[in-house]
Structure 1
Amino acid sequence: MITIKNITTDDPLYALMRELRNKILLRPLGIPDNSWEMYDDISWHFVAVENKKVVGCAVLVPAEEKPNKARLIQMAVDTAVQGKGIGKLLIYKIIAFAKNQDIKEITCHSRAYAVNFYKKLGFEVYGEPFEEVGIPHNHMKLKV
């Protein structure tokens, strides 16, 4: 059974989350481990846990300039369980959390191949496509 949890950086699951982010998002691109943690201390962290193992994760960063806006970053699902709805469960938990925090909009930089995943969950593309970390991306947003 998959459980979605909101954790802090003090939680023992945080180390497992970091490893998943490195394995799925950074290492395949040759990006150094832990190099996308610059917002971790001010962010909300979400993990999908199955049998005490982190199989999915995402980070929600509050927008400093707009208290009712946040940015979704570092969303990853272990390749062994991709396509089983874990990403969707993470997004549902994040949306519910955002509503409780009075966040009105969530934005993200979606890798081009993930755009349809986000669209199915209510996100929409805005602006022009761009390249980030050597990969085509799109700006996306969701009104909460």
Structure 2
Amino acid sequence: MTNELRIETGSWDELGEIAGHIRHQVFVIEQAVPEQEEWDGRDQECLHVLVWQDQRALGTARLLPDGHIGRVAVLAEARGLGVGAALMRATIEAARQSGHTEVELAAQTHALAFYERLGFSAWGEEFLDAGIPHRNMTLRLNPHC
């Protein structure tokens, strides 16, 4: 087993089975998010990102057409190993390549420091989503020179 991480991007048709499995594990099983709240019908319009190590997918996120990043999920055994940071860097770069000047996300409050280390700033009041406390966060993107 190597430590090298590999990024894959694609449509829901291409990556949905694997991304969906990770999201089910993290959100539905681990965090007890109701199935009907996890599957919001927007996956077909999104760009999906997977992080792989060897032959195992460890994390996923999606980028909506309006620049929102969502459904960021890393399997429990892969947390703390740089998978989430690699996942977010790839998703942010995909947003930049799509012409977005900023990205937004709704972060679970326990993950605020993680997103702040990536340059995100929290704004607005805390709110509940699927019974889990969240805050909105924004990252302004610098175009490539």
Secondary structure of the residue aligned to 1:103 is: coil
Structure 1 unaligned segments of length 5 or more: list them.
64-69
Q: 2:19 aligns to what?
A: 17
Identical-residue share of aligned pairs (%)? 26
Runs of 4+ with deviation above 4 angstroms: none
Q: 2:90 aligns with which of 69, 89, 93?
A: 93
Which residue of structure 2 lines up, in the alignment, with residue 136 of structure 1?
Answer: 133
TM-score normalised over the length of structure 2: 0.88
Tell me, yes or no, if structure 1 residue 48 matches structure 2 residue 51.
yes
> In the alignment, is residue 7 of structure 1 matched against residue 10 of structure 2?
yes
| Residues in 2 aligned to 1:41 and 1:85: alpha-carbon distance in whole angstroms | 28
Residues 16, 53 of structure 1: 8 Å contact kept = no
Q: Quote the residue 1:66 is aligned against.
A: none
**Structure 1 length normalisation: TM-score?**
0.88
Q: CA deviation at 1:21?
A: 0.2
Alignment of 1:63-74 (within 5 A): 63=66, 70-74=67-71
Q: CA deviation at 1:51?
A: 2.2
Distance change (3 Å), C-alpha of 1:7 and 1:37: farther
CA distance in 2, matches of 1:75, 1:20: 10
Q: 1:44 and 1:35, CA in 2 relative to 1: closer, same or farther beyond 3 A?
A: same
Q: How many residues are aligned here?
A: 137
Distance in 2 (CA, whole Å) between partners of 1:30 and 1:124 is 25
Structure 2 residue aligned with 1:106: 103
Structure 2 residue aligned with 1:38: 41
- State whether residues 123 and 140 of structure 1, in contact with CA within 8 Å, keep that contact through their aligned partners in structure 2: yes
Q: Is the 1:22–1:33 contact (alpha carbons within 8 Å) kept by the matching residues of 2?
A: no
